[in-house]
């Protein structure tokens, strides 16, 4: 993964980085956006749709991420965006996007095939970080990535135990799970939601402070029921974030909602993001195991994809 770091580069002075993709591929854009904010990279806008904004032009670098290379929305995005910017990068393992890349000479970052998209988050993320680094738009360096991998390897036993506890907590209550945290961990909560949706086959709601204090909080005045369980996630080194989550905790407590605390570990934002991602990944697979469910199978997505064409093409 890091061996291929930065082997491919793009040249140009860019105004914006636009990242398009869906589901397990689209989350890569969310992660790059937050990392870029924190580590002073290019402004990033993420699109999880087939629709292309009018303002994109040749000053923008457009990255389309689709693990399979066959996702309808991502292909439709490419079809439209290629008339707006010539700076196109495709990140994929296969499919039509690989074929179009070869035919049109798009910059192509090949991801190892034969996995499910969500498991390939690290390779898709690292391939984009490497491309940006070697192109003069560093967000996260190769050394930072290597350090993070070491950090996770060392803590894996503890992480597996915590993931098992978290899965047991969710299964014990069998309620609608709420992932509650503070900015800039909103993207981690979206990743966690997707992992529990796809691996454990349960719905999940995401609540993020400080925006939470301006709407969700009122919803907690008179909920129809207390059939929820909350997972509170915070960065212990972020005083404001931690205090906001403690405030949320007191509101959920007043409604007698069972709560589980996750303290993010790591020496920087990148490590904490990776730590949380691995924790949710392991917990969601463990929950699937407890429930006797195949974590890899996503029948409903397949069903949707089989008719997506008829929705989008008139």
Q: Which DSSP category does 111 fall into?
A: P
117/184 with CB nearer ligand F6R? 117
> From CA 29, how far away is CA 27, in angstroms rounded?
5
Q: How far is the CB of 76 from ligand F6R (least distance, A)?
A: 12
Q: Does 216 bind ligand F6R (CB under 6 A)?
A: no
23/184 with CB nearer ligand F6R? 23
Residue choice 16, 45, 176, 301 for contact with ligand F6R (CB under 6 A): 301
Residues 130-169 that bind ligand F6R (CB under 6 A): none
23/266 with CB nearer ligand F6R? 23
Q: Does 107 bind ligand F6R (CB under 6 A)?
A: no
Strands 44-47, 88-92: pairing kind: unpaired
Instruction: State the Rg of the chain over Cα.
Output: 20
Neighbours of 117 (CB within 10 A): 27
How many residues are there in the chain? 314
- Determine the size of the site formed for ligand F6R (CB under 6 A): 15
Q: Does 277 bind ligand F6R (CB under 6 A)?
A: no
- CA torsion 99→100→102→105, rounded to 10°? -170
Q: Do residues 209 and 252 lie in contact, with contact meaning Cβ atoms separated by under 8 Å?
A: no
23/130 with CB nearer ligand F6R? 23
Q: Does 1 bind ligand F6R (CB under 6 A)?
A: no
Residue nearest to ligand F6R (CB): 23
Cα angle 115, 302, 104 (rounded to 5 degrees) comes to: 65
Q: Does 23 bind ligand F6R (CB under 6 A)?
A: yes
The partner residues of 144 in beta bridges, in order of sequence, read none
Q: Do residues 82 and 108 lie in contact, with contact meaning Cβ atoms separated by under 8 Å?
A: no
Q: Does 66 bind ligand F6R (CB under 6 A)?
A: yes
Residue choice 36, 71, 144, 284 for contact with ligand F6R (CB under 6 A): 71
118/201 with CB nearer ligand F6R? 118
Q: Do residues 152 and 274 lie in contact, with contact meaning Cβ atoms separated by under 8 Å?
A: yes
Contact residues: ligand F6R, CB under 6 A: 22-25, 66-68, 71, 74, 116-118, 198, 298, 301
């Amino acid at each position: 993964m890091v061996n291929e770091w930065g082997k491919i580069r793009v040249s140009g002075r860019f105004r914006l980085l636009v990242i398009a993709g869906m589901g397990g591929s689209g989350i890569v854009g969310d992660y790059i956006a937050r990392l870029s904010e924190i580590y002073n990279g290019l402004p990033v806008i993420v699109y999880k749709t087939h629709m292309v904004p009018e303002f994109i032009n040749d000053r923008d670098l457009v990255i389309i991420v689709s693990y399979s290379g066959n996702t309808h929305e991502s292909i439709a995005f490419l079809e439209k965006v290629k008339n707006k910017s010539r700076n196109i990068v495709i990140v994929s393992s296969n499919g039509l996007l690989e074929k179009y890349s070869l035919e049109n000479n798009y910059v192509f970052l090949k991801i190892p095939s034969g996995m499910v998209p969500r498991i390939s988050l690290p390779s898709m993320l690292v391939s984009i970080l490497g491309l940006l680094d070697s192109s003069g738009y560093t967000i996260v360096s190769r050394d930072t990535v290597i350090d993070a991998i070491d950090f996770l390897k060392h803590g894996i036993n503890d992480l597996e135990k915590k993931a098992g506890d978290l899965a047991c907590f969710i299964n014990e209550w069998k309620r609608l799970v709420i992932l509650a945290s503070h900015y800039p961990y909103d993207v981690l909560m979206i990743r966690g939601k997707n992992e529990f949706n796809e691996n454990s086959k349960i719905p999940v709601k995401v609540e993020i402070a400080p925006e939470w204090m301006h709407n969700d909080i009122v919803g907690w005045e008179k909920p129809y029921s207390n059939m929820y369980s909350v997972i509170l996630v915070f960065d212990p080194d972020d005083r404001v974030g931690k205090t906001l989550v403690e405030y949320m905790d007191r509101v959920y407590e007043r409604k007698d909602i069972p709560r589980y605390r996750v303290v993010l570990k790591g020496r920087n934002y990148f490590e904490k993001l990776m730590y949380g991602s691995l924790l949710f990944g392991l917990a969601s697979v463990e929950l699937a195991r407890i429930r006797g469910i195949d974590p890899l199978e996503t029948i409903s997505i397949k069903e949707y994809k089989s008719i997506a064409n008829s929705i989008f093409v008139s």
